[in-house]
Amino acid sequence: MKLLLVAPRLPPDHWSGAATVIQGLFSEARRHHEVRLIAGWVRDRNLLPAEAIPVALQGVKGAAAWGHMTATILREVRHWKPDIVISNGLGIPPLPVPTVALVHRMGPVSGRGWLERARIQTGRIQARGLDRVIAATAAVARGLQGAGLSADRIRVVAPGVDTARHFPAETRRMDLGEEDRPLRILHPSRILPGKGQHHAIDALARLPRLHKRRARLTIAGSVEDAVYLDQLRVQAWGQAVDFALDVPDMATLMRDHDIILHPPELGEGFAFGAVEGMATGLPVVWADQPATREATGGLGVPVEKGDVDAMRDAIMQLMDQPALREERGAEGLAFVTHHRSWERAWSRYETEILSVVR
C-alpha cells in the first residue's frame, strides 16, 4: 500500500504533540507500507528526515503556507499516485484519492476566541472532503461533532509514545529535600498562555519558605509567544526558575527531573507532555480536564484546572513523600507500557486508515 503523509511541521523543527504523532506514524508506517512524507519547515531543512519532501515555509503563513503545501501535495498525488493520503490536521485540499485527517485538538489554546472560532469553522469546511477523521481522544471527537462533523466519519485512536526515546533514568534520586539537592520540577510544553506556565511559576512561589528552598522549576519548550515568555521571565524574577527554550531533546531533559507539571488551561487534545512524563517513570501533576484524564488513564496527581494552591499542595506532597513519588511514577510507566506504546497505537491507526480504501 502506498501512503502519502502530510505534516505542516515536524520535530525538531517544531515541537508539538501533533507534530510528534505524525513523526511516530511515519516511523511505524514505513515498516509495513511504501511511504512518502511531505513536511513543511521553517528553521532548517536539515531538521527534517533526509527522505522527506520539503516545503519551505520561512516567513510564510496562513493562506500562502497552505498554498505551498497544497501545490506539493497535488504534485505528489498526480505523479506518485498514492492509495491513501494522511494529513496531520484538517488543512488538506480535496483530493481524488481517499484522505484521512488526524486531529489532536478542537478547543482553544491561544485564548483569542474569535481566531479559534474561525479556525474551527474553517476546519468544518475542510472536513467535508475527508473520508475519515481520526481523533486523538473521545473528548476531541465530541468537539468535532460539536463543530458539525458527522459522527460516522470519526474514529478515536490514542497516539503512541516513543518509548525508545522516553524511558526512565537508570537511577532515581531518592535523597531529595536539601538545598544542595532540590526537587527538580519540569513544565514541558510550548510557550503559550493556554499551556499554563504562569500557574507553574505561581505554584512554586506559593510554597512555604522551607519547601521553596528545596525545589527548582524548569520551564522548557519552543517559544510560540515571545510576549508571554517576557511575562514569564518577569514573573519568575527572584524565584528558583530556569528556562530551557527550543531544547533539541525533551526526553533527556525529563530524565534529569523528578516531577512533571502539566497544568494547561485551555483546549487540550491529548496530553503529550503528561504521557511522555509517565513513560519516563515520573509522577505527573496535571490539570483535570476530560482529554487529559483520558490520555493518562486518570493516573498521576490530578488537580482542579486553574487551582494553583492545589498544584502547590501536590508538589509539597510529592516532595515530602519519596515513596509516593515512586508509586505514582511506576503506575504511570506501567500504563504507558501497556496502553500507549506505538506498536499498539499503530495497529489501530492502520485498521482505520486502510478501511477507507475504495
pLDDT digits (tens, 9 = 90+) for 247-259: 888 999 999 999 9
Mean pLDDT of 298-303: 96
Whether residue 88 contacts residue 6, with contact meaning beta carbons closer than 8 Å, is answered with yes
Beta strands in the chain (DSSP E): 2-7, 34-41, 53-56, 84-88, 99-103, 132-135, 154-156, 183-188, 215-221, 241-245, 259-262, 284-288, 301-304
**pLDDT tier at 111 (50, 70, 90 boundaries)?**
very low
Domains and CATH numbers, the chain: 2-160+341-354 (3.40.50.2000), 183-339 (3.40.50.2000)
How is residue 102 written as a grid cell?
488526524
Instruction: Flag the least confident range among 119-128, 159-168, 199-208, 334-343.
Output: 119-128
Give yes or no for residue 108 having a pLDDT over 50.
Answer: no
What's the rounded mean pLDDT across residues 47-57? 94
pLDDT of residue 89: 87
Q: Does the pLDDT value for residue 109 go beyond 50?
A: no
For residue 17, the model assigns a pLDDT of 81
Task: With a cut of 50, say whether residue 39 has pLDDT above it.
Answer: yes
Least confident of 3-7, 10-14, 186-190, 321-325: 10-14
Q: How large is the average pLDDT for residues 323-335? A: 96
Neighbours of 164 (CB within 10 A): 9
Give the mean model confidence (pLDDT) for residues 287-292. Answer: 91
Banded model confidence at residue 114, pLDDT cuts 50, 70, 90: low
Query: What percent of the chain is modeled with pLDDT above 90?
Result: 68
- What does the pLDDT read at residue 217? 98
Residue 150 banded pLDDT, cuts 50, 70, 90: confident
Residue found by looking up cell 476530560 in the block: 290
Least confident piece of the model among 206-210, 262-266, 280-284: 262-266
Rounded Cα distance between 38 and 206, Å, is 46
* Stretch 69-97: mean pLDDT: 93
Average pLDDT over residues 205-229: 94
How confident is the model at residue 181, as a pLDDT?
78
Q: Looking at per-residue confidence, does 189 or 14 come out higher?
A: 189
Lowest mean pLDDT among 83-97, 100-114, 168-182, 227-241: 100-114
Cα 106 off chain centre by:
13
User: CA 27, CA 25: separation in Å to the nearest integer?
Assistant: 5
pLDDT at 146 (0 to 100)? 80
What is the average pLDDT score of the chain? Answer: 89
